[in-house]
Amino acid sequence: MSDETELVHGVAVTRPRGETVLHPSREQYVVLISTLVDEGYLMCVDLTAADYLRHPGRTDLPEGIEPERFELVVGLLNHGTRHRIRLRIQVPEDDPTVATLFELHPGTEALEREVFDMFGIGFDGHPDLTRILMPEDWQGHPLRRDYAVGSIPVQFKGAPSHR
């Protein structure tokens, strides 16, 4: 990272449209969240992911942060200061795992399960990393960009079956 890269707790920061976005590595992720909890960011508003399979050359990352296929996106809120902060963690396709936030933010249990179910990103240390939206025997992860579009048969409850 260059001397011009803004850092917060040793993590690169960008400020798109006035928003504070931190870009920790997977190794910095939980330690940074713990530090932010100590600073009053007590609410995890959202935890989701993005698949950049078709956009590998993104330029919106700070210098020194290598784009990966997956990105974990976490939104935090500090009620005392009324500030929001967003984290963007790059997750490689060949090792799609990050540590769980469950111990720091128990409310992320279902959010992490959804990311696991839809994107196939695992969360080390999660208490129940099982599918939450798709059936347990479902093959694949429907929000991945390489998942076959339109191949999910839909049957509405109570509707006649057309054969």
The third-level CATH classification (topology) of the domain covering 7-124 is Beta Polymerase; domain 2 (3.30.460)
pTM of the model: 0.87
- The 10s digit of each residue's pLDDT in 6-51 is 999 999 999 999 999 999 999 999 999 999 999 999 999 999 999 9
Which pLDDT tens digit goes with each residue over 104-115? 999 999 999 999
User: How many angstroms separate the CA atoms of 96 and 42, rounded?
Assistant: 26
Amino acid at site 49:
A
User: Are 36 and 76 a contacting pair, CB within 8 Å?
Assistant: yes
pLDDT digits (tens, 9 = 90+) for 67-83: 999 999 999 999 999 99
Does the pLDDT of residue 2 top 60, yes or no?
Answer: no
What is the C-alpha separation between 16 and 89, in angstroms, rounded? 16
Domain range summary for the chain, segments of one domain joined by +: 7-124
- What's the pLDDT score for residue 34? 98
CA 152 from centroid of its chain's CA atoms: 24
Q: For residues 92 and 33, what is the distance between their CA atoms, to the nearest angstrom?
A: 20
Indicate the pLDDT class of residue 102, thresholds 50, 70 and 90: very high
The reported pLDDT for the residue numbered 154 is 65
